[in-house]
Structure 1
C-alpha cells in the first residue's frame, strides 16, 4: 500500500477560484513569493512527507506557467503558489517527478487554471487568511508538520472500464455503463456470489430495437478466478467471457438503458444498485442508498469512513453540468481525502476531497469530468450468506521482516483468509499466520471463511512497518600503538533501497503469450553488465499469470553455457502466490555484486498452478537472445528459448549501488574518504588525545556518524606471553629488555636462545649467558619447566627488516593482528618450494600460493623460514 499520495485538485475555473479564495479575509497583507522562499517551502514540504530533496530542481521557467512554482526531484514534485495570499501547496506527488514533455492537455489545463485563479486574487487585492499565512510561515521556517497518511485503501485492485472486452455481451455497439462497471468492481472485490438468485428481463427505453435484455442469475456461476485485474491483448477468451458475463448481468439487474458512447453511453440510476444486490445477488440487508444532501459534511464523511474501516468498498455517484457518473470509493486519508476508482482502466484513480471530484475528461461517459453535485452512495455492501463471524483482536509480533499474526477464533469459521495491502496472501485453519513482510508499511487483516466458502467481514487492521535502515557502523574500535592509532569496525548489514539505481528489464506490460515450462531464465551477458560493475542485484520481479508455487535463483557466473552452480548468490523456493496477473517481487537476503566480467543468471521456477499454460510468460514483441527455459528438474540445465522462439521473459532485475565505502573523521575533521576496507591506521600522531568516528557511503548518500571512540597517544601496548612446559617460539611486539623477560619468567625458566648462538640459562634462580638483548623481528626459543602466562607492557615494536639466506632463518611476526601468510609477508617474493615452519604446522610455496597446515601468522609468535634461493633477500615484517 502506498503511504504517500498525489494531491491534484481538479475543478473548473469558477470552482477553482472560489476554492482558492475561500476564507480569504482582511487579516493579513500578502505579497509575491520569491523563488528562494518557494524553494525553502518546497523542501520543507517534501522533507516532511518523506521525500529526499538534495536534488530539488526548479522547472518553473522551463514549463512557463504563470503565478506558479514547480519544484521536482527524481521521485517527487510539488506545485506552489507564487503569491502568499493563496494557500502554498496546490498539488504534489511522491510517486514520480514532474514531466513537462508531452503533458496531457487536460492536465496542462487545470494547472493553468490555478495560475488564473491566483491572478484573480492578485487583481482583486484579496488578502491571506490567518490559516494561509500560518501555512506559509510554517513551510518557510521549517516548522511544517502536517501530512495526510493513508488510513484505508485502495481496496479495489481491479482497473476495469466500459468498452471491450467488458461489453462483449452487451447489445452491439454499446458500452456497459458506469453503474454496471462500478457495481461489478465491488462484486469482484468480494468474489461473491457463486451464482445469483432468480432471473430478470426488460426492454431498454432509449433503444427498444435492441430487444428484450435478460439474465438468468440463478443458473449462472460467476467465474471469479478467471477475472483479471486488468485486461489487454494477453488475456484469454475464458477471462474475457468471465468479466463480460458479470458486466452484462450487472447491467440487466439495474435495467441498464444501453447506448453507444457516441450518444453518452449506457445509463442507469446508482440508487437501483442497492435493491439489485439484495434481490439478485444475495447481498446483506444492510445495503442501502443514501444521498449526501441528507447529512452534514462531518456525518457524511463519518459514514464513508465507517464502511471503509470495515474494508467495504462503496459505490458512489455524482453529477456535473455535462452529466452524472457512478464510480467506487475505496479508501481515505487522515486529512479527509478519499480514493476513487473511476472505472476508466485506472485513469485518474487518486485521492480527492469530496467537494472537488474533478478527475477531468478522458474516460467513457466522463463529460467534462466534474461530479460535485447530487452526490450519493451505496453503503453496507457485503455478502449476507457467511455464517461465520469476523475474526477479532488481530495482533502481531515482528522480528525484522518476519511478522506473525494472531487473532481470536471466530464463531462458525472453517478457516481464515489473510490479506496484506488488500491482496490475499494465504489461508489458515489455525489462528496464527507468519508472513515475510515487504519493506515499508504492510497493512494486514483477516476474514473468516465458513463451511460453504463464504467470507465474513474483516477483522481489525494492523499496520506493520519494515524500515529501510541505513547501514550505520555501530562498533568502531581504536587502539593506540605508540604514535599510531589502529581503527577497525564491522561492515554493517545490508540495507535495501527505496528505489533502484538501475533496472535490467524486458518490458512492464502484461504478457503477449503464455507458454508451458518449469524453469525459465534470463542470462545477462558480461559485456552488457560492464556499465553496472560494482552495483548489486537486490530484487527480482516477475509477472505471475496463475496462482501457484514459485522459486527464484540468482547466479553470478556461467559454466559450460549454463548457470555455474557454485555461483548461486540467492535462492528462495516454494513461495505460494495466491494473487496472479500481477508483478511480484522477490527480495534478496544479501546483495549480489556484479563484477562486470561475469554473466548474471536470473532463474524462475513455477509449480502447482493446475493449469496447462502456467506462468512463464513472454512477450514475442520483446526480442532477447538470452532467454532460456527447461522442463527439467534443475535450474542449471537450461535450453536456449530462441532456438525455436523469439521471446523475452517478463523478469525485471533491480540494481543498487552494491559496495559500501567509509569516511573516517578525527576530531570531527575528515582524514580519509571512500575507504574500501573495514580497518585503517592513523600514523605519526603527536602526543595527545584523539576522537574518531566513521560514516558509510551508500546508495542514498552518507550515513550518520558511528559510535565515537577516544584514544591517547603515545599508546602503550600489552603483550600476553603464553609459555608451554617445553619450548615456546616467541618474538617481542613491545619494547622490552632481556632483564624484564628474565624477571617475568623467574625461576621457572630453563633457557632462552637465539639463532646466532646467543643464550641465557637459569640456574638456581639466576640468569647468565651470552645473549645481551633482543633484536626486533628475531625469533627466540624459550624453554620452561611449567606452562605459564604473563604480560609485558611497553611501546609497540612495529617493523623490522630480516635477512633471509639460503637455508633456515628464524623470524618473528609483529603485526597488530593475525594475517594470512601472503598478507603478512607483504611484498616479499618467495621462491618455489620455500617453507615457513611454525609450532602449529608448516606451509610450502607452490609457485602461486602458500599451501599446508599453516595459514596464518600470529603477532608474538616465532617461525622458521626455509629459503631455497641462493641469493640473499630482505623480509620486511610489521605494519
Structure 2
C-alpha cells in the first residue's frame, strides 16, 4: 500500500565513473548562475550534503533564495534554483533533493553518451563565465508574480488550511491537511472557482487508517469537522467571494482544503494525511467538475511536453512523485516552465523548497520518481458576460503584442483575466496597488476577452493579440 505522505526515493543502477566536482568548482558554478538573478543577489552560506556516492552543494542566497549544484559532471550542473524559496535541511522534504539526485546518479550507466556529453558541455559553458544572453522564455514571466510561479501565494498543511480537518481520535490533535488536498486547493484557488461542486451522501466514505475509524461525514460532530450540508454552505460563500473579487479568508481556505481532501477520499492523522495513489486526485478533480482533466503517467509519450504546454496555457499541473518501491510520496503543483528545461514546483510547504527544478524527463522509464500528473485542469468559465464598450480607450493598445494596459488610476482593480472565446483562462493576473497591465507575451495571436474585476464590479472587453 502506497501512502502519499513524504519523500523517500529508492536507488537503482551502478556507480558512474563520471568526474566528481570540487568545492571550488561548485561555488564557481553557483556564482556564474547568479547572473540570471536580479541585481543584488549574492551567496550567503554554503552547505555540502551526500547523496550516496555523490555530493551536492546548497548555496543560500541573500536577500532570499537558493541554488543547488550537483557534484558530478555527468549530471546537470544546476539541479534547482530560486530567488524566493528557502532550503531547510531539517524539513521532511529534504529527502526529495537528496534521494532524487542519488537516483539520477545511479541511472548514469543507462544514459546515452550524447546526453552525458551535453551535460559535460553545460558544465564547461557555466564555468566559462556568466550565462550569455540567448533566446529565452519563461512562464510566468520573471518578476510578474510573488512566488515565481503562477500560484499567487504559498499554502501549508497546518492552520488555517487544516482548521476544518478531522480531529485525530488517537492524539486528540487536529489532523494536518495532507499534500494532495493542499496541492489541489491551491490550483482551485488560482482558478478562483469550485466549479459548482456539491457534496451529498453519495460522497460518504469510511475512514479506516492507523487505528482511526470513523465515517465522513456521518461522524462530523465526534471528529469536529463540517457536515456536507455545512461544507456546501461554506463553499457557496467562497464562490461568492470569488465572484465578487472580495478576497478569501481563513475560513474559505480551510473549507476549500477540507473539501478537496474529501473529494480525494483522504485519510487523516495529526502527523500525516494523504492518499494511496494519484488516481484519487484525478477522481477529486472530476468530482469538482473539471471534466477535461486527465491523468498521465511516466510512460505517457510527451509527458513533459504536455506539462510544459499546460503551464504556457496558464494551467498549473498536479504532480505526484513517489519512491522507487511506491511506498512513499508527495503531491506538488507545477506552476512554471522555462525554455532552459526547468519547471517551477510549489511544494505546499509555505514556500520551503519552492523553486525551478530540472524534472527527470531524460531518465529512462522505470528509473524516475514520477507517479503521475493530472493535466488539463480547466475550469468551466464560459464567457457569456456583457461586453463593455471601449470609447475612451480604457484598454490599450488594442491590438497588443506585449502588454495590455488599462485605467487603474483609482487603484480599484483587483484582478485582470484573459479568456479565450471558448471560456478558457489564458492568463490570470492579480492586481495590487497601481499595477495597470497584464502581459500577453507568449500568447498565440487571436481574439480574446479580458475581464477586469474591481471593487466596483466586473467589466469585460474584447481584445486582439497580434
User: Under TM normalisation by the shorter chain, which class is it?
Assistant: 0.5 to 0.7
Q: Structure 2 CA distance, aligned partners of 1:449 and 1:344?
A: 31
Q: Structure 2 CA distance, aligned partners of 1:119 and 1:303?
A: 26
Q: Structure 2 CA distance, aligned partners of 1:175 and 1:108?
A: 19
Shift in Å, 1:371: 8.8
Unpaired stretches in structure 2, ≥5 consecutive residues:
1-6, 108-112, 141-147, 169-174, 219-226, 362-366, 388-394, 410-415
1:423 maps to: 430
Cα 1:105–1:171 shift into 2, 3 Å: closer
Cα 1:197–1:146 shift into 2, 3 Å: same
Q: Does 1:307 align with 2:310?
A: yes
SS in 2 for 1:312: coil
Q: Structure 2 CA distance, aligned partners of 1:346 and 1:311?
A: 20
Shift in Å, 1:379: 1.7
1:209 maps to: 214
Aligned counterpart for 1:150 among listed residues 133, 138, 161: 138
- Residues 35 and 130, structure 2, Cα contact 8 Å, conserved in 1: no
Cα 1:44–1:307 shift into 2, 3 Å: closer
Q: Structure 2 CA distance, aligned partners of 1:223 and 1:202?
A: 22
For residues 633-644 of structure 1, the aligned pairs below 5 Å read none
- Residues 204 and 257, structure 1, Cα contact 8 Å, conserved in 2: no
Shift in Å, 1:198: 6.6
Aligned counterpart for 2:401 among listed residues 384, 387, 395: 395
**Cα offsets for 1:711-767 (capped at 9, x unmatched):** xxxxxxxxxxxxxxxxxxxxxxxxxxxxxxxxxxxxxxxxxxxxxxxxxxxxxxxxx
2:261 maps to: 251
Q: Does 1:239 align with 2:249?
A: yes
For residues 147-296 of structure 1, the aligned pairs below 5 Å read 150-152=138-140, 154-173=149-168, 174-193=175-194, 196-197=197-198, 199-200=200-201, 201-206=203-208, 209-210=214-215, 212-213=217-218, 215-216=228-229, 221-223=236-238, 239-254=249-264, 256-262=265-271, 264-265=273-274, 269-278=280-289, 283=290, 285=291, 287-296=292-301
Please tell me whether Structure 1 or Structure 2 has the larger radius of gyration of its CA atoms.
1
- Residues 180 and 250, structure 1, Cα contact 8 Å, conserved in 2: yes
Question: Higher relative contact order at CA 8 Å, sep ≥6: structure 1 or structure 2?
Answer: 2
Q: Structure 2 CA distance, aligned partners of 1:72 and 1:270?
A: 34
**Cα offsets for 1:566-624 (capped at 9, x unmatched):** xxxxxxxxxxxxxxxxxxxxxxxxxxxxxxxxxxxxxxxxxxxxxxxxxxxxxxxxxxx
**Cα offsets for 1:183-228 (capped at 9, x unmatched):** 222222222248544734413241553454552476551325769x
- Residues 176 and 247, structure 1, Cα contact 8 Å, conserved in 2: yes
1:137 maps to: 124
Q: Structure 2 CA distance, aligned partners of 1:450 and 1:11?
A: 44
Q: TM-score, normalised by structure 1?
A: 0.35
SS in 2 for 1:172: coil
SS in 1 for 2:251: helix
For residues 700-779 of structure 1, the aligned pairs below 5 Å read none
Cα 1:114–1:183 shift into 2, 3 Å: closer
Return the structure number with greater strand share.
1
Q: Structure 1 CA distance, aligned partners of 2:316 and 2:377?
A: 9
Q: Structure 1 CA distance, aligned partners of 2:263 and 2:93?
A: 36
Q: Does 1:89 align with 2:96?
A: no
SS in 1 for 2:151: coil
Across the two proteins, how many residue pairs are aligned to each other?
A: 384
Q: TM-score, normalised by structure 2?
A: 0.59
Q: Structure 1 CA distance, aligned partners of 2:59 and 2:352?
A: 24
CA-based RMSD of the aligned residues comes to: 5.7
**Cα offsets for 1:675-710 (capped at 9, x unmatched):** xxxxxxxxxxxxxxxxxxxxxxxxxxxxxxxxxxxx
SS in 1 for 2:281: coil
Q: Structure 1 CA distance, aligned partners of 2:187 and 2:85?
A: 32
SS in 1 for 2:384: coil
Q: Structure 2 CA distance, aligned partners of 1:118 and 1:267?
A: 25
Q: Structure 1 CA distance, aligned partners of 2:294 and 2:399?
A: 31
SS in 1 for 2:431: strand
Q: Structure 1 CA distance, aligned partners of 2:368 and 2:89?
A: 23
Aligned counterpart for 1:376 among listed residues 373, 381, 404: 373
Shift in Å, 1:170: 3.3
Return the structure number with greater helix share.
2
2:339 maps to: 334
- Residues 274 and 289, structure 1, Cα contact 8 Å, conserved in 2: no
Shift in Å, 1:33: 5.5
SS in 2 for 1:315: strand
Shift in Å, 1:332: 1.2
